[in-house]
Structure 1
Amino acid sequence: MASDVDPAAARPPATAGVETIAVLGDEVRRGMYGFVRRARRPVTREEVAGDAGISAKLAAFHLDKLVAAGLLRARYDNPAGVRRVGRKPKVYEPAGRDVRISIPERHPDLLAEILIDAMVTTEPGEDPRSAARRVAHGRGEELGAELRARTRPGRLGPERSLTLSRTMLEQHGFEPQRQAATELRLLNCPFHPLAARSPELVCGISHAFLDGFLTGLQAAGIEAVPSPRPGYCCVELRTTRGGTSSGEEDVTCRGAGRDRS
């Protein structure tokens, strides 16, 4: 039986997006995907084949490609209003996944979620910027804790911490690059061009998010450090002396919103 798990979810967003667009590059397949979306109900391969004017076997081939790309979900069930004797047919429906491609990768939705959560959870006497950093830190901490629970790395030293951090950073579009044994520089700001409009606010959120991630990961001997420079993310990861963190809160990011291109 087909799984309801989105096969594209395990791949980095940019990679999954490019592969998805490639699947939709076929005109027949693109028309079939549109038909399934417009149906507003699960449909069989025979229905899709009839609309596309192709055989059911060929339709099944294209539909399975759409499922593999994470655009459709497949399961065995009777279509609405249809009763059949014997095994239920395979039906297809939209997976509810948005398809977006940005190179370099951008994540304005994550920034928007942080800002909205900050607005609705602002505490008495708390200024908006502090609320945004608080929420960003909490979001990053949750991510770090999830990664630690999934990988069960045991005690983390600086080397292992940087390796695990690099995986998360790649998935979120930061384009990490190991500059030295003690430094992980981030070549892309996933919040650009919003960072260019309010660099101190957005870079403060980035710093809090990455600092929270390291907290949740329980990474020893590594910290998120404000390091604004043109063409890069305004934060980078560095190993620390004695494994202590500087605890910086304020970030000045002159030029951090500029693209390298």
Structure 2
Amino acid sequence: MRPRNDLDAIGALGDPVRRRLYRLASESDEPLTRDAAAEALGIPRSTVAFHLGRLVEAGVLEVDSRRAAGRSGPGAGRPAHVYTPASDELIGSLPERHYELAGELLAAAADRADADGTTVRRALGPVARRAGARVGAASADLEDALTTCGFEPRDDGAGGLTLENCPFHALAQRYTDLICTANLSLVEGMAAGAGDERTPVLDPRPAHCCVAIRAARTPAS
């Protein structure tokens, strides 16, 4: 459950030829070859190769090498490049939002609530905390985990962090208590998963996330 923001990939699709190539690769039952793409679009193979390469660089497509069926060994010729979509869908927003993550958390909480005979609201905190812990454990540090999820962490000058962006902004505006409480649990999980001793707290401020990170307390001497 590592959120992503595919703005660079979406930007690469601004070119109409690349959009058509991406659509071809997405709708094809088999990996797309340069020859098939050139024939379908009616443009030179060299042009197709250039644009496919750009889509690979942007992370929109993945490329592999494959020999034609039934051909192997010396004299079989060079393997052909074949292209497949890097993911089933592209998600991008500016400012960065991750409503798909909120949807996953709420769906998982509903499933957990049914299993435990409790409410979705009660189940949401533990579900969000576990999800955050997985993101934190898979990240280089807490800042990396927060950046992955779109929180835009900034040093507060006192050993803690302010979170400049809320990835669930529209939901937080409408369902403030529910979303902000889940947000706190999510960030608590990230800190625990990343092994960070700083403390996430609710600290709602205009134009910021409702959560802030307080510096770790030093033991009294």
Scaled by the length of structure 2, what TM-score is found?
A: 0.86
1:199 counterpart = 2:188: no
Query: Which residue in 2 is equivalent to 1:94?
Result: 85
Secondary structure in 2 matching 1:241: coil
Q: CA deviation at 1:53?
A: 2.3
1:144 counterpart = 2:130: no
In structure 2, relative to structure 1, the CA distance for the partners of 1:243 and 1:165 (3 Å cut) is farther
Verify the 8 A CA contact 1:71 1:97 in the aligned structure 2: no
Query: Which residue in 1 is equivalent to 2:205?
Result: 229
In structure 2, relative to structure 1, the CA distance for the partners of 1:121 and 1:51 (3 Å cut) is same
Secondary structure in 1 matching 2:156: strand
In structure 2, relative to structure 1, the CA distance for the partners of 1:196 and 1:55 (3 Å cut) is same
Verify the 8 A CA contact 1:138 1:212 in the aligned structure 2: yes
Verify the 8 A CA contact 1:207 1:225 in the aligned structure 2: yes
Cα RMSD after superposing both structures: 2.4
Secondary structure in 2 matching 1:121: helix
1:1-261 mapped onto 2 (5 Å cutoff): 13-14=4-5, 17-78=6-67, 83-84=70-71, 85-122=76-113, 124=116, 126-147=118-139, 151=140, 164-220=141-197, 222-242=198-218
Identity value in percent: 36
Which ranges in structure 2 are unaligned for 5 or more consecutive residues? none
Distance 1:228 1:120 in 2: 29
TM-superposition CA deviations, 1:139-190 (whole Å, max 9, x none): 111222223xxx5xxxxxxxxxxxx322221221112222212331111110
TM-superposition CA deviations, 1:64-109 (whole Å, max 9, x none): 1111222222212256xx5443443221222224223211111111
Verify the 8 A CA contact 1:137 1:211 in the aligned structure 2: yes
Distance 2:142 2:87 in 1: 29
Distance 1:182 1:95 in 2: 39
TM-superposition CA deviations, 1:206-252 (whole Å, max 9, x none): 000111111122222x10011112222111001143369xxxxxxxx
Secondary structure in 1 matching 2:169: coil
Scaled by the length of structure 1, what TM-score is found?
A: 0.74
Verify the 8 A CA contact 2:67 2:78 in the aligned structure 1: no
Verify the 8 A CA contact 1:70 1:97 in the aligned structure 2: no
Secondary structure in 1 matching 2:17: helix
